[in-house]
Amino acid sequence: MMTDTTGAPPCPPPPEIQPQPRLMRVPPGAVDTHCHVIGLPPRYPFVVGRSYTPPQASPAAYINLLDTMGMTYGVLTQVSVHGTDNRLLVEALTVNRARLRGIAVLGLDASDAERTALQAAGVVGLRLNVLYGGGIGFDRVEAYGALCREMGWHLQFLIDAGELPKIAPQLAKLPVPFLIDHMGHFPTSRGVDSEGFQTLLALVRDGAWARLSGAYRTTVQGPPYDDTVPFAQALVKAAPERCVWGSDWPHVANWGVMMTVADLLDLLARWVPDEELRRRILVDNPHRLFGFGT
């Protein structure tokens, strides 16, 4: 395990052996819409002030995971510990252009050349993240909306749903599609009827996208994450055409039980028992949002 001298605790790695899901068949064309590739210093420095120190997660290891799970495509999201240094993300996209798309983290002061290079590599959106050190906050959300409109990108938000009532009016005015990550990333103990989650549902009904992911981040019961089922099902009911699924591999900042991706696919089968609806979430919806097949 990596030694860290900054005080940011090291994360456990994901399981090396990844079995097949038991409760569902992964359909052709399926997309894992949320994962990370992670390099190691000094070549790929970590940001100061981060909240965790991750293990390496190479592009080759992720492609192998996709093949093992029978997933056709993947979406790489810039990990917070690399901040706005998107080099490894771009390298991975360039080598695997047919199978991967990217979500970058970018400062508003980035040059036109940097933006164009990201777009050419396969970046299709930007992420704003205030939950783990190294991300970009929400204070310039209108400017990011304008940038994404110019580039033909969408926006993704890693935010505790409890914050949504305060910023929902801003989000509703965005000129581009936007997605809320990890089902609102808040403890299930707050309940489906909490103001934050109800605001999330309202945003999704009105046009926002939702990622069905991160159950191990929101559960208060632990595996097999039964307490997450009503939240996922409420989001699917709100907008089945705008829900997507992600593995969140390699599961950074997970200090509890380390699951396999098959465990998370089996959980999706319990969230969405209907096979055809599950196919839409795994194939049709993400193809439309991330531009696969175009």
Is 231 within 8 Å of 197 (Cβ atoms)?
yes
The residue-averaged pLDDT of 272-292 equals 98
- Asked whether residue 211 carries a pLDDT value surpassing 90, the answer given is yes
- pLDDT interval class at 67 (50, 70, 90): very high
Degrees, nearest 5: CA angle 22-24-28: 125
Mean pLDDT value of segment 274-279: 98
Q: What's the rounded mean pLDDT across residues 25-32? A: 98
> Residue 120 CB: number of other CB atoms within 10 A?
12
pLDDT tens string 118-129: 999 999 999 998
- Catalytic residue numbers, as ranges: 248
Which residues have a Cβ under 8 Å from the Cβ of 26 and sit 6 or more positions away? 69, 70, 71, 265, 282
CATH number at 128 reads 3.20.20.140
By DSSP bridging, strand 73-77 and strand 31-35 are parallel
What is the span of the domain harbouring residue 245?
31-160+238-290
In terms of Cα–Cα distance, which of 187, 192, 253 is closest to 55?
A: 253
3-state secondary structure of 257: coil
Is 179 inside a domain boundary?
no
d(CA 71, CA 63): 9
How many Å separate Cα 268 from the centre of its chain? 15
Please, what is the Cα angle at 36 between 165 and 255, to 5 degrees? Answer: 75
Give the integer Cα–Cα distance in Å for 81 and 8.
10
pLDDT for residue 49: 85
pLDDT, tens digit (0-9, with 9 covering 90-100), for 69-109: 999 999 999 999 999 999 999 999 999 999 999 999 999 99
Q: How far apart are CA 231 and CA 71, in angstroms?
A: 25
Answer yes or no: is pLDDT of 294 > 80.
no
Mean pLDDT for the chain? 94
Q: Is residue 97 part of a domain?
A: yes
pLDDT tens for each residue of 213-252 = 999 999 999 999 999 999 999 999 999 999 999 999 999 9
Does 137 reside within a domain?
A: yes
Note whether residue 115 is domain-resident.
yes
pLDDT at 132 over 60: no
**How many domains does the structure of the chain reveal?**
1
